Amino acid sequence: MFGIPSNTPGSVFDELWRLQQEVDELFGSWSSPLGIRSLPRGSFPAVNVGQTPERVDVYLFAPGIDPKSLEISIQQNLLTVSGKREIKAAEEASYYREERFSGEFRRVISLPEDVDPQRVQAKYADGIVQIGVQRRESARPRQIEIH
């Protein structure tokens, strides 16, 4: 690029990139995301959490994941999802930007205190894992009749 050979072994640019990667791994990446859809390091898969008076729904956006390889557990009010995503890269390719996450991941999501860990459902469709956790009956609002 611009007549500067950056693909030569041991080039200054390679060393600077390697140093930046090591600093990011050591201290975490404090820089702003690279794009509007970028996630901070350690944020795979992206998560949305919604709630109604009856349930809490967690949506994990995990394209390219085999749903059978996911481990989902709930203990008290902590939902844990872990797994591994492998992206096959062309051996002859030299990447100068990689935004798709590859490797092992683990997300721990804190749920409200009133969820019932015995009443959990999970389903996978179109790269989205939906986990529904029912709230305890005693925690749900109920209408009281006046006689």
Token pair 């591994």 is at which residue?
Answer: 84
Give the tens place of pLDDT for each residue, 129-145: 999 999 988 766 677 88
Q: Is the pLDDT of residue 1 over 50?
A: no
The proportion of the chain whose per-residue pLDDT surpasses 90, expressed as a percent, equals: 35
Structural domain contains residue 64: yes
96 and 51 co-located in one domain: yes
Residue where the block lists tokens 């029912």: 134
- Render pLDDT for 11-38 as a digit per residue (tens, 0 to 9): 677 777 777 777 766 665 555 445 545 5
Same-domain status, 82 and 23: no
* Range of the structural domain that residue 1 is part of: 1-31
CB 140 within 8 A of CB 54: yes
- Least confident range from 38-47, 93-102, 119-128: namely 38-47
Q: Is the pLDDT of residue 39 over 60?
A: no
Helices marked H in the chain: 12-27
- 55 and 93 together in one domain: yes
Give yes or no for a contact between 109 and 79, defined as CB atoms under 8 angstroms apart.
yes
Tell me if 69 is assigned to some domain: yes
| Overall domain count for the chain | 2
Q: Are residues 1 and 57 in the same domain?
A: no
Give the CA angle between residues 100, 102, 107 to the nearest 5°.
95
Same domain flag for 10 and 48 = no
Of how many residues is the chain composed?
Answer: 147
